[in-house]
């Protein structure tokens, strides 16, 4: 791969710049002002429907990922400039793309976090493979199989691409009309839903990166950026930023909510990542201007915030080192690992991601109850809206004299516009677009809106 192609500033629909911003900086600005980004303020990061205003939502998480991704890009670009691997003008471009991809990386996540994602997959399993296969009739059996798996393996990352490329309707069907360079870097996973497998040896193929509805766009992005299904190098930086931010910040939020105590975190890290934790404690000592042995005088909240600052710093430096060390393989497309798990601080990253988060924070009874409630809400809403979508008039002329028509009239106008465009083009079966309409609408809801709408429609 070559940066001259990776940093492709063209768009599907050419637009005039008209100011001093780079095209990639315009991508960031378009994203900031977009409706999907605004909705993130009421989507769960870890704790759904959280009343505590200091706990992260998906929006604050995404802003932090954007910041750390840009920071990683700055670290890496400094090295690449010194080694003359990039031109000075390319540094600003790489930083802008990293910041944008960090901001939009979770746009496709449904209400109630990953629990909502699993709830959507589960809802489609009620159809069964054979019923979905019959519903999605298509002459090409490979395409039909892929369409079936699009729903059975529904994935928030693939939905993110769909959102920015299709669903955010402005003047046409190109969504936010982001540059090819940004779209390329935003694709965390490179496989179709048929190719994706959790057991795949390539990390980038463990989950679907796109749906059949966006496959032609993905081919165009590959052609324009010369990635040919390989991961864009900037994608590694954004993924690392996400892993670092959520694994560390979730600990801080858990402490703020009194879900976990600082002593519990300390105990686990001393067992699982003693050497790395010593470095974190040294940095915390400098931040708090206090010897480690005197940390007991601080409240857990203060220690949690100092830990967040110190741990992110340690992990960002390590991820930067891993990227520069593996730079030739990354540019060849042969590096298949994860930056946070291939460095010298692997023990710290693994302890946070695989032990402290899952065992001490995510599985609290209150959180599990909310996720189960979210599952019920999503299933009921999808049942209801599928009733409307499966007989939705293709010409968009909805009649509200019967109950099915009343359901159809509740769909988002934007999503109805995309649905009509899809069926009029006739590239995919109408049933595929109908199922996507239900998924698009429910997936785009915020936690509060989904809960309120469910209550209104079920008298709950």
Per-10-residue mean pLDDT of the chain, 460 residues long, equals: 97 86 95 95 89 90 98 97 95 98 97 94 92 89 93 96 90 90 97 94 93 96 94 98 97 94 96 96 97 95 97 97 97 95 95 94 90 96 96 87 94 92 87 96 96 90
CATH T-level topology, domain 234-363? putative deoxyguanosinetriphosphate triphosphohydrolase fold (1.10.3410)
For residues 313 and 20, what is the distance between their CA atoms, to the nearest angstrom? 32
- What CATH class does 3-111+125-225 carry? mainly alpha
The dihedrals phi and psi of 46, each to the nearest 5 degrees, come to -125, -45
Q: How many residues does the chain have?
A: 460
For residues 313 and 299, what is the distance between their CA atoms, to the nearest angstrom? 22
Say if residues 44 and 59 touch (Cβ distance below 8 Å). Answer: no
Kindly list the domain boundaries of the chain, sorted by start residue: 3-111+125-225, 234-363, 366-458
For residues 123 and 442, what is the distance between their CA atoms, to the nearest angstrom? 12
Please give the pLDDT value at position 460: 66
Q: Which two tokens stand for residue 254?
A: 């858990």
Q: pTM of the prediction? A: 0.95
Say if residues 153 and 196 touch (Cβ distance below 8 Å). Answer: yes
Q: Which two tokens stand for residue 117?
A: 């994602």
User: Which residue is listed with tokens 């915390």?
Assistant: 284
| SS (HEC) of the chain | CCHHHHCCCCCCCCCCCCCCCCHHHHHHHHHHCCHHHHHHHHCECCCCCCCCCCCCEHHHHHHHHHHHHHHHHHHHHHHHHHCCCCCHHHHHHHHHHHHHHHHHCCCCCCCCHHHHHHHHHHHHHCCCHHHHHHHCCCCCHHHHHHHHHHHHCCCHHHHHHHHHHHHCCCCCCCCCCCCHHHHHHHCCCCECCCCCCCCCCCHHHCCECCCHHHHHHHHHHHHHHCCCCCCCHHHHHHHHHHHHHHHHHHHHHHHHCCCCCHHHHHHHHHHHCHHHHHHHHHHHHHHHCCCHHHHHHCCHHHHHHHHHHHHHHHHHHHHHHHHHHCHHHHHHCCCCCCHHHCCCCHHHHHHHHHHHHHHHHCCCHHHHHHHHHHHHHHHHHHHHHHHHHCCCCCCCCCCCCCHHHHHHCCCCHHHHHHHHHHHHHCCCCHHHHHHHHHHHHHHCCCHHHHHHHHHHHHCC
């Amino acid at each position: 791969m070559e940066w001259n192609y990776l940093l492709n500033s063209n768009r599907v629909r050419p637009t005039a710049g008209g100011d001093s911003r780079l095209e990639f900086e315009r991508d960031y600005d378009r994203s900031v002002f977009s409706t999907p980004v605004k909705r993130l303020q009421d989507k769960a990061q870890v704790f759904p429907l959280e009343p505590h205003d200091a706990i992260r939502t998906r929006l604050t998480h995404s802003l932090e990922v954007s910041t750390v991704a840009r920071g990683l890009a700055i670290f890496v670009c400094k090295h690449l400039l010194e080694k003359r691997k990039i031109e000075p003008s390319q540094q600003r471009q790489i930083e802008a793309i990293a910041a944008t991809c960090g901001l939009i990386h979770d746009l496709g996540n449904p209400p109630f976090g990953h629990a909502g994602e699993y709830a959507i997959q589960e809802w489609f399993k009620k159809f069964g493979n054979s019923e979905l296969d019959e519903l999605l009739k298509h002459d090409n059996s490979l395409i039909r199989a892929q369409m079936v798996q699009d729903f059975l393996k529904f994935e928030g990352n693939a939905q993110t691409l769909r959102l920015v490329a299709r669903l955010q309707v402005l003047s046409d069907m190109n969504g936010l009309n982001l540059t090819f360079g940004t779209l390329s870097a935003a694709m965390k996973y490179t496989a179709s839903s048929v190719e994706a497998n959790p057991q795949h040896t390539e990390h980038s193929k463990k989950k679907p990166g796109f749906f059949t509805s966006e496959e032609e766009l993905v081919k165009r992005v590959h052609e324009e950026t010369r990635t040919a299904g390989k991961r864009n190098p900037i994608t590694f930086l954004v993924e690392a930023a996400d892993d670092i931010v959520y694994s560390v910040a979730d600990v801080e939020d858990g402490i703020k909510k009194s879900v976990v105590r600082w002593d519990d975190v300390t105990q686990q890290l001393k067992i699982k990542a003693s050497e790395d934790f010593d470095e974190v404690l040294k940095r915390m000592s400098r931040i708090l201007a206090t010897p480690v042995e005197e940390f007991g005088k601080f409240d857990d909240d203060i220690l949690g915030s100092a830990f967040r600052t110190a741990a992110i710093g340690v992990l960002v430096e390590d991820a930067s080192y891993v990227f520069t060390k593996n730079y030739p393989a990354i540019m060849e497309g042969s590096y298949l690992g994860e930056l946070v798990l291939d460095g010298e601080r692997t023990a710290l990253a693994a302890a946070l991601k695989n032990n402290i988060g899952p065992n001490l924070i995510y599985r609290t009874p209150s959180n599990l109850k909310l996720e189960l409630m979210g599952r019920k809400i999503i299933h009921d809403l999808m049942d209801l809206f599928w009733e409307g979508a499966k007989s939705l008039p293709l010409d968009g002329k909805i009649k509200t004299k019967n109950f099915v028509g009343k359901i159809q009239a509740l769909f988002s106008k934007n999503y109805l516009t995309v649905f009509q465009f899809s069926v009029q083009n006739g590239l995919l079966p109408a049933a595929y677009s109908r199922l996507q309409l239900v998924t698009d609408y429910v997936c785009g809801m915020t936690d509060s809106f989904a809960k309120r709408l469910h209550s209104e429609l079920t008298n709950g």
